[in-house]
A = this chain, B = another copy of it.
């Protein structure tokens, strides 16, 4: 096994050393003054990152917990909802709705397609509306970043609430919670927020709070009100993962110090550099070759190469971890995450490892061009 490690997955992602150091401080009590100022600042920083004036609710769970929270707090059994999906994570939100007995109208695209706002408008018209529309901003399984702003506008025009899965996208691509009138936006600590996994967050608009009053689905741990009421007293409804909150505060400080717009620009460049490098090798992209693909780059395997075997080889020999294809894409693609604590030399390492692994596996790839192409591409400012 290789000595060094390179984590190139779209979650968990690499965490800055100062964040790791913060998480290893002696444990403090969540109701004491060693914690409360950090907690307060962390919640305020979260609101800045979500671009919202509303309160961000913080949960100790993986991101899926806050996906479930949206359904459980907004819906009632038999209620008509629309889920827009084009991959693994979009389908998860549909599965949650079905588990809770909602009448899920599933606007389902092939994995890798990008949902079209016009399709959503047509579907909502056909249905005569829906109470809530659930969309995925960054479909981590395919690399597609949906046009959430337009999808939300269509849904709002039809009188629906809009819930957005921004788990892998928040902090990497723009997500204007208030300006785009998004009712619920959920995210997690372990993606572009550069923090270990363990925390998930959600925004809740005024309209969503009103809808919650009518929603009859049961919820306790993920009940929004219980968490909001505690947070308003700078308390937590349940013992939070204090060490990860302390780490998240440091990570958000790093992100905001650099500036969100700079982070978005950086991620566009990372995505471009990765895609150009992949193409220079003669490989085909599965992710759209667009600036929006700034979270993860999915790469089709050449004829005769099994992605999963290649992944194990790269991991064992070089300590490089890529993400495999999920569901119907298993073995056919590999995914390179490039969010959070990531720079262009992570891209060049990823490309160099991929070039070497594919060559040794017998694939016919162009040698010696990907790294330079990536470096050159990164240097060019986004249009």
A interface, CB within 8 angstroms of B: 1, 5, 7, 9, 11-15, 20-21, 23-30, 32-34, 60-65, 68, 72, 95-96, 99-101, 188, 190, 196-198, 217-223, 238-244, 315-316, 321
**Chain A contact residues: over half helix, strand or loop, or mixed?**
loop
Take A61-B60, A62-B239, A196-B241 as given contacts and tell me if A23 and B26 are in contact as well, using a CB distance cutoff of 8 Å: no
Is the pair B33, A315 in contact by a Cβ cutoff of 8 Å?
yes
Chain B residue contacts of A27, Cβ below 8 A: 7, 12-15, 20, 190, 196-197
State A9–B223 Cα separation when bound (angstroms): 26
Work out how many copies of this chain go into the complex.
Answer: 2
Closest B residue to A195 using CB positions:
B27
Residues of B within 8 A of A217 (CB): 218
Looking at A11, A12, A190, A240, the one whose CB has the most chain B CB atoms below 10 A away is A12
If the complex has contacts A24-B20, A24-B21, A315-B32, are A63 and B220 also in contact, measured as CB distance less than 8 A? no
A18 to chain B, nearest CB (A): 11
- Minimum CB–CB distance from A91 to chain B (whole Å) comes to 13
Q: Give every chain B residue within 8 A of A63 (Cβ-Cβ).
A: 238-239
Contact between A197 and B15, CB atoms less than 8 A apart: no
What separation, in Å, do the CA atoms of A318 and B230 have in the docked complex? Answer: 27
A69-B119 Cα distance, complex, nearest whole Å: 38
Q: Are the CB atoms of A242 and B197 closer together than 8 Å?
A: yes
Known: A99-B219, A315-B33. A243 touches B64 (CB 8 A): no
| Further pairs besides A24-B24, A60-B197, A62-B240: 18, Cβ < 8 Å | A5-B28, A13-B27, A20-B27, A21-B24, A23-B23, A23-B24, A32-B321, A33-B315, A60-B60, A62-B238, A65-B221, A68-B220, A99-B223, A196-B244, A198-B244, A221-B222, A241-B244, A243-B244
CB distance from A107 to the nearest CB of B (A): 20
